[in-house]
Amino acid sequence: MLDSGVNDLSVLDLLVSAVLLLDDEGSIVHANAAAEDVFGLSRRQLLGMPVCRLFDEAEALQQSLREARDDLFAHKILPLSVTRPGVDSMLLSGAVVVLHGQPWPMLLELRETHYRDRIERAEERLEHADANRELLRNLAHEVKNPLGGLRGAAQLLQAELTDPRLTEYTQVIIAEADRLHGLVDRLLAPHRVPRVVTLINIHEVCERVAALVMAEYGAGLKLVRDYDISAPELMADREQLIQALLNIVRNAAQVLAEQRRRGQAQIVLRTRVARQVTLARQRHPLVLVLHVIDNGPGIPESIRERVFLPLVTARDGGTGLGLSLVQTIIQQHGGAIDFDSRPGCTEFRLMLPLNSQG
């Protein structure tokens, strides 16, 4: 139960859901921090605004508020959506709650419809990633030993051969053994912990990656920056974060080959700060969310559930190690990675705790 003291309203900022306190007319008298994030408006801008103006379902919400004022219910759930310029429509579950004995007659609580699904999906991927890493370590070590013996035997055999036509075969064996050895090293490389942890500005990381990708794929590609310049710095391994982000943005640029030929390719780099987010089974007051959005063909449905597994790729010539490496780096920083994909829009979200010490 809410206390009538104004100072006690600060506890609402600890909630992951957006909360709006309303007067009898349905105007906003208080908004918590999560509500500012949902609507992209400051608390000062929200105060006094008729709440129905914020939603696409204004009429349905207005009817629910009238019923609440008439004491026809104490608690009602209804689907709502918010559309902001330049931002995808957000689907929300809205709970209208009647408050008795409080200065505010009504409360509207908002939660993103797919929020719980995303958390559960990230937790499941975290568990799978841990198991996969252990399997890969064991497998890689088992493969490296016979590879060394195979290469050594081929070298000895090559030294004994005098026919150049036969030495071509031993050279193929040696070259392929070296290629497999390099692949195994790349499989093992991500499993080290971050080595150089410093306070970094995520937008400097974004700009470094943007410069690299535009130099390589700039023709026909538009790169849009949508930064929250108020985002705090975070403790992280700068070079590893550059590598992680570069892998995702470069992947996006590569799958946009057809769009680039037509001059219609677009990648959006967006940063936001989210509050009260659970990552790796731990609640964090502040989390940096880095979005990478492209207008490509989307990830094939056949590999979506396996996209972070090593050696899984839908691209000709791809190694399938890029996203596996990204996931490992982000998880080593206490974060998580998630994505949504459909034809015409793929969005990866890198979530990093801002209170992390690496």
Least confident residue range of 9-18, 158-167, 188-197: 188-197
How many residues would you count in the chain?
358
pLDDT on residue 175: 86
**115 pLDDT above the threshold of 80:** no
Least confident residue range of 29-38, 175-184, 287-296, 344-353: 175-184
Q: Contact at 8 Å (CB) between 8 and 30?
A: no
Q: Among 112-126, 155-169, 191-205, which range has the highest average pLDDT?
A: 155-169
Burial of 185 (0-12, 13-18, 19+ CB in 10 A): exposed
Beta bridge partners of 327: none
SS3 275: strand
Question: What average pLDDT score do residues 277-287 get?
Answer: 79
pLDDT band with cut points at 50, 70 and 90 for residue 357: very low
**Which residue has better confidence, 202 or 278?**
202
pLDDT band with cut points at 50, 70 and 90 for residue 33: confident
pLDDT on residue 288: 93
Helix (H) or strand (E) segment spanning residue 283: strand 282-294
Distance CA 290, CA 351 (A): 6
Distance CA 312, CA 132 (A): 13
Number of other residues whose CB lies within 10 A of the CB of residue 188:
16
Neighbouring C-alpha atoms within 13 Å toward the C-beta of 298: 10
Question: What average pLDDT score do residues 230-257 get?
Answer: 91
What is the distance between the terminal CA atoms of the chain, rounded to a whole angstrom?
Answer: 38
Number of other residues whose CB lies within 10 A of the CB of residue 300:
10
What amino acid occupies position 271? T
pLDDT band with cut points at 50, 70 and 90 for residue 356: very low
pLDDT on residue 1: 40
Residues 6 or more apart whose CB falls under 8 angstroms from that of 35 comprise 18, 19, 20, 43, 46, 110
Backbone angles phi, psi at 261, to 5 degrees: -60, -30
Beta bridge partners of 225: 269
**Which residue has better confidence, 277 or 192?**
277
Q: Contact at 8 Å (CB) between 234 and 202?
A: yes
Q: Contact at 8 Å (CB) between 290 and 231?
A: no
**304 pLDDT above the threshold of 80:** no
DSSP state of 34: H
Average pLDDT, the chain: 81
Residue whose tokens read 């990230």:
122
Distance CA 330, CA 192 (A): 12
Measured CA distances, 314 to 127, 255, 290, 298 (Å): 24, 10, 24, 10
Q: What is the pLDDT of residues 146-170, one digit of tens each?
A: 888 888 898 999 888 888 888 888 8
Q: What is the pLDDT of residues 200-234, one digit of tens each?
A: 999 999 999 999 999 889 889 999 999 988 899 99
Outline where DSSP puts E strands in 190-281: 197-200, 221-226, 234-237, 265-279
**280 pLDDT above the threshold of 60:** yes
pLDDT on residue 22: 92
pLDDT on residue 6: 44
pLDDT band with cut points at 50, 70 and 90 for residue 124: low
**353 pLDDT above the threshold of 50:** yes
Residue whose tokens read 């009538």:
4
**24 pLDDT above the threshold of 60:** yes
pLDDT on residue 190: 55
pLDDT on residue 223: 95
Question: pTM of the full predicted structure?
Answer: 0.60
- Angle at which helix 202-217 crosses helix 238-255, to 10 degrees, equals 40
pLDDT on residue 3: 45
pLDDT band with cut points at 50, 70 and 90 for residue 250: very high
Q: Contact at 8 Å (CB) between 97 and 75?
A: yes
Task: Encode 301-330: b = buried (16+ Cβ within 10 Å), e = exposed.
Answer: eeeeeebbbbeebeeeeeebbbbbbbbbbb
pLDDT band with cut points at 50, 70 and 90 for residue 121: low
